[in-house]
Amino acid sequence: MKEMFNILGWLGKQEEHALLHDAQKHVEETRKTVAYFADAVKALIDNDLQARATAIQQVRESEHQADLLKVSMLNEITNELLMPPNRDDFVDFVHALDRIADRTNGAAKLIGFLDQRLPDNVLANIATGTNLIVNGVARLDDAIKAAIKNDLALTRECCLDVGRIEHDADDQKRFLLEAVLHAPLDPPSLLLCYNLAEYLEGITDRVLEAADLVRIVAARTD
């Protein structure tokens, strides 16, 4: 019985390793979603309405592709030979990735509603918050690649970087809100910018949530 349990445990680890490869595809699509959002922010700063509309549409389409990958991964997880706690970790990870793309799409929608030209300091703070998201998702991608290679030390290092980025994003939210509250904005723009600050910080929270789960899975498959 013990030998059978060891065999099942080994098979479970093999399945988890295979799922990490699928997770990387999901993260790569999420990186595209975030990159398109960064393009939308750049277009907002450049006051390029056509480029902004195009980028927002690309965010929407990429988020839809990420959603399809989520469904595919959840179906695969259901059919794999995983112990219930391990399966739960992967399900939580997939949902964390989905929330990154979903909140990024939500942030892009807010940018699409902005009609008033925002002050430079507000735009600069939005750009900084966006760069933190881009860097956070990049390090999440690095963490998964390291986990696939069974490099636990590098996986931990990447996940710690995500944690530092999330901490910086908390501070950046405060800086953005301070800039927004002291800017001569009309009521709709004030409300949109306030919610945008919440979304930007919330995206980095979801990136950290995903990174924490990668670290857990990597430690188990090592």
pTM of the model: 0.87
What is the Cα–Cα distance from 197 to 28, expressed in whole angstroms?
A: 24
Determine the pLDDT at residue 3: 41
Q: Which amino acid does the sequence have at 153?
A: A
The pair of structure tokens assigned to 159 is: 């996940």
pLDDT reading at 11 higher than 60 = no
Q: Which amino acid does the sequence have at 47?
A: N
- 3-12, 42-51, 182-191: least confident range: 3-12
Which residues make Cβ contacts (< 8 Å) with residue 193, sequence separation at least 6? 114, 118, 122, 126, 176, 180, 183, 185
Q: Which amino acid does the sequence have at 121?
A: N
Of the candidates 57, 102, 64, 79, the residue with the CA atom closest to the CA atom of residue 210: 102
Classify the C-alpha dihedral 48-54-57-63 as positive or negative: negative
Instruction: Tell me the DSSP string of 126-145.
Output: HHHHHHHHHHHHHHHHHHHH
Of the candidates 66, 130, 74, 124, the residue with the CA atom closest to the CA atom of residue 98: 66
What is the Cα–Cα distance from 14 to 21, expressed in whole angstroms?
A: 11
List % helix, strand, coil for the chain (3-state, nearest 5): 90, 0, 10
pLDDT reading at 218 higher than 70 = yes
Determine the pLDDT at residue 100: 95
Mean pLDDT of the chain: 87
Q: How confident is the model at residue 2 (pLDDT cuts 50, 70, 90)?
A: very low
What is the Cα–Cα distance from 110 to 174, expressed in whole angstroms?
A: 19
Instruction: Give me the CATH number covering residue 201.
Output: 1.20.58.220
Of the candidates 217, 204, 216, the residue with the CA atom closest to the CA atom of residue 96: 204
Determine the pLDDT at residue 139: 97
Determine the pLDDT at residue 1: 42
Determine the pLDDT at residue 86: 65
Determine the pLDDT at residue 6: 36
Q: How confident is the model at residue 14 (pLDDT cuts 50, 70, 90)?
A: low
Determine the pLDDT at residue 7: 31
| Average pLDDT value for residue range 45-64 | 97
Tens of pLDDT, residues 86-124: 667 778 888 888 999 999 999 999 999 999 999 999 999
Number of domains in the chain: 1
Determine the pLDDT at residue 160: 96
- Which DSSP state fits 222? -
Determine the pLDDT at residue 5: 35
Q: Which domain holds residue 80?
A: 2-221
pLDDT reading at 199 higher than 50 = yes
